[in-house]
Amino acid sequence: MSVTVRPNFDVCPLALAECDRVVKFADVDGSAFVFATTQQTGKTTRAVLDEIFSETDLEFYTARLASTVDLDTVDVDFDMLFIYE
């Protein structure tokens, strides 16, 4: 049995893949989990992500510092986990 996974651009817009601050992202039961880095200059990462998600029905839910996120499936460096529901 083969399972095909198709991207859901209503939850995870293609612009996430083009954003240099986004490390990884996933659609988790209709919510977007975005692992991203932050920077000290320019727009905040939250503002950049809010612009990306402005074309969707999702709204910002919460953010967590990387040091408080304990996910075995994420093995890359990131500063924050942003969730849009």
**DSSP letter string over 35-50?**
EE---SSSS-HHHHHH
pLDDT band, residue 49 (cuts 50/70/90): very high
Indicate the pLDDT class of residue 18, thresholds 50, 70 and 90: very high
As a whole number, the mean pLDDT across the chain is 85
User: What DSSP element (H or E) covers 28?
Assistant: strand 22-28
Residue 32 contacts residue 12 (beta carbons within 8 Å): yes
Picking from 59, 1, 54, 68, the residue whose alpha carbon sits closest to that of residue 31 is 59
Read off the tokens for 77: 């460096």
* Higher-scoring residue by pLDDT: 53, 6: 53
